[in-house]
Amino acid sequence: MTRNPATPLPPPKARRRLRENAALTRDQLAARVGVTRAAVREWESGRSTPRGRKREAYARLLNTLADEAAARRPEPEAVSGRKEAPTPAPDPTADQGARHDRTPASVPVLVAVGAGPERTAPDRAPAPAGGAAPPAGPVAAAGEHPALTPAQAFDALYEFAAPALVRQAYLLTGRRELARESVERAFQLAWEHWPEVARDRDPAGWVRAAAYEYALSPWHRFRPRHRQPEPPPADPADRTLLNALLRLPAPHRRTLLLYDGVGLGLPETAAETEASTPAAANRLLHAREALAGQVPELADPQVLHRRLAELASVERLRASGTAEVRTGSERRARFWTRAAIAFTVALIGATALTLRTAPTRYEPPVPPGETVRGVPPRVAQGPLSDEERELREKLRDQVQDGPQRLVPEPG
Q: What is the pLDDT of residue 409?
A: 65
Of 375 and 115, the one with more pLDDT: 375
Q: Region 108-114: what's the mean pLDDT?
A: 50
Name the DSSP letter for residue 137.
Answer: S
Range with the poorest average pLDDT among 55-64, 143-152, 176-185? 143-152
Q: pLDDT per residue over 162-183, tens digit each?
A: 888 988 998 889 888 888 889 9
Q: What is the pLDDT of residue 147?
A: 59
Q: Which residues contact 127 (CB under 8 A, 6 or more apart)?
A: 133, 134
How far apart, in whole angstroms, are the C-alpha atoms of residue 24 and residue 19? Answer: 5
- DSSP three-state, residue 54: helix
Q: pLDDT per residue over 82-100, tens digit each?
A: 444 444 444 444 444 444 3
Burial string for 351-388 (b: 16+ CB within 10 Å, else e) reads eeeeeeeeeeeeeeeeeeeeeeeeeeeeeeeeeeeeee
How far apart, in whole angstroms, are the C-alpha atoms of residue 37 and residue 49? Answer: 14
Does 103 score more than 80 pLDDT? no
Give phi and psi for 251, each to the nearest 5: -65, -40
How far apart, in whole angstroms, are the C-alpha atoms of residue 16 and residue 40? Answer: 9
Of 371 and 80, the one with more pLDDT: 371
Name the DSSP letter for residue 135.
Answer: T
Range with the poorest average pLDDT among 21-30, 265-274, 335-344, 377-386? 377-386
- For residues 203 and 138, is the Cβ–Cβ distance under 8 A? yes
Burial of 274 per CB tally in 10 Å (0-12, 13-18, 19+):
middle
Letter for the amino acid at 273?
T
How far apart, in whole angstroms, are the C-alpha atoms of residue 85 and residue 265? Answer: 10
How far apart, in whole angstroms, are the C-alpha atoms of residue 298 and residue 289? Answer: 9
- For residues 123 and 140, is the Cβ–Cβ distance under 8 A? no
Letter for the amino acid at 303?
V
Q: What is the pLDDT of residue 251?
A: 92
Q: What is the pLDDT of residue 322?
A: 79
Q: Which of 105, 127, 113 is nearest to 157 (CA)?
A: 113
Q: What is the pLDDT of residue 81?
A: 43
Does 404 score more than 70 pLDDT? no
Q: What is the pLDDT of residue 97?
A: 41
Does 295 score more than 70 pLDDT? yes
Domains of the chain, with CATH numbers?
12-73 (1.10.260.40), 89-328 (no CATH)
Q: What is the pLDDT of residue 286?
A: 93
Q: Which residues contact 244 (CB under 8 A, 6 or more apart)?
A: 290, 291, 294, 295
Name the DSSP letter for residue 49.
Answer: -
Does 287 score more than 80 pLDDT? yes
Q: What is the DSSP string of 376-411?
A: PPPPPP----HHHHHHHHHHHHS-SSSHHHHSPPP-
42 pLDDT band (50/70/90 cuts)?
confident
Letter for the amino acid at 55?
R
Q: Region 357-383: what's the mean pLDDT?
A: 81
How far apart, in whole angstroms, are the C-alpha atoms of residue 86 and residue 44? Answer: 20
Q: Which residues contact 255 (CB under 8 A, 6 or more apart)?
A: 269, 273, 275, 280, 283, 284, 287
Give phi and psi for 134, each to the nearest 5: -60, -40
Q: What is the 3-state secondary structure (H, E, C) of 95-127?
A: CHHHHCCCCCCCHHHHHCCCCCHHHCCCCCCCH
Q: pLDDT per residue over 323-367, tens digit each?
A: 888 888 888 888 989 999 999 999 999 999 999 998 888 888 888
Cα distances (Å, whole numbers) of residue 77 to 82, 123, 195: 10, 10, 38
Burial string for 143-179 (b: 16+ CB within 10 Å, else e) reads eeeeeeeeeebbbbbbebbbbbbbbbbbbbbbbbebb
Q: What is the pLDDT of residue 342?
A: 94
Does 189 score more than 80 pLDDT? yes
Q: Which residues contact 150 (CB under 8 A, 6 or more apart)?
A: 194, 198
283 pLDDT band (50/70/90 cuts)?
very high
Does 253 score more than 70 pLDDT? yes
Q: What is the pLDDT of residue 410?
A: 65
- % the chain with pLDDT above 90: 14
Q: Which of 130, 135, 176, 126 is nearest to 159 (CA)?
A: 135
Q: What is the pLDDT of residue 406?
A: 64
What are the residue ranges of helices labelled H in 102-235? Answer: 107-111, 127-130, 138-144, 150-173, 176-192, 194-199, 203-215
- Supply the mean pLDDT for the chain: 77
